[in-house]
Structures are given as C-alpha cells and as structure tokens.
C-alpha cells in the first residue's frame, strides 16, 4: 500500500474524509520513513518499540526527542510503543510525547476483558 500511486493517495484521502485516522506504525524501522510524512496524509506516528527499549542510549534518546518534536511541528500525534519502565515514560513526557503504549500502561487484553475493565472503572467513578 505504501506505493505513491494516485489511487492509494486518493483512497487514503477518502478514508480520512470518512473520519478514519491514518497511523504510520513502527516509525523509524523497515518501510517507515520521513518521506512518508510528506507523501501521505498521516495523523499519527508510532515510534517503534526498539527505540523506546534503547532510550537509555544517548543517540537513541536524541532520535526519539527529534521524532516527537517533528510530530509536534507537523501537528501529528506521536505514540511511543513498548513503554515498559517509569524512566522511559518520564523521558517521553518531558520530551512532549502525548501517547504511550506498553506493558507499563497495560497488558494486551481481549475485548471482553476490556469491557469488564471499563465497567469496573465506571463503577469506581460513580462511587467516588
């Protein structure tokens, strides 16, 4: 799908017109590149978990901060994937990252489990 054909661009534009948000997953690895930010109507950048895992390395931290800043400049939401430690989350918050996902936030769950979790959270809010 990541070719530059007019039909792909037209389809992505139509999807956005319907309210579908477009995310560039695993940013920084594989087929994700800066060029895609210019060519495609992207709403979200998801920083690949390999970068978050190596946040303690100076060069990697600089890259992550730069991607977060780039997202802010372009008006694109940035999500950090694979957040597993408080120190990672703290650094990401300080850098201005608005979203995070990973085992620190919550483990993957089935839809039925999520429904139960949301219901219990709603009960806690009502009783509190």
- For 67-113, what is each residue's pLDDT tens digit? 999 999 999 999 999 999 999 999 999 999 999 999 998 888 888 88
Q: What is the pLDDT of residue 56?
A: 95
Contacts of 46 (CB under 8 A, 6+ apart): 23, 24, 25, 26, 27, 78, 79, 80, 81
Question: What's the mean per-residue pLDDT of the chain?
Answer: 88
CA proximity to 82, closest of 116, 46, 112 = 46
> Given pLDDT bands bounded at 50, 70 and 90, which one contains residue 57?
very high
The whole-model pTM stands at 0.78
Q: Which residues are marked as active site?
A: 81
């Amino acid at each position: 799908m990541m070719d530059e054909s007019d039909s792909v661009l037209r389809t992505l534009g139509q999807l956005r017109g319907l309210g579908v948000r477009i995310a560039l997953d695993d940013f920084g690895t594989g087929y994700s590149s800066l060029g895609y930010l210019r060519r495609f109507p992207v709403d979200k950048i998801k920083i690949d978990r390999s970068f978050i895992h190596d946040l303690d390395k100076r060069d990697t931290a600089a890259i992550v901060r730069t991607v977060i800043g780039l997202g802010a400049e372009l008006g694109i939401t940035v999500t950090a994937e694979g957040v597993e430690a408080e120190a990672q989350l703290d650094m990401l918050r300080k850098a201005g990252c608005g979203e995070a996902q990973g085992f620190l936030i919550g483990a993957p769950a089935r839809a039925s489990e999520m429904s139960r979790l949301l219901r219990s959270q709603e009960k806690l809010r009502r009783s509190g």
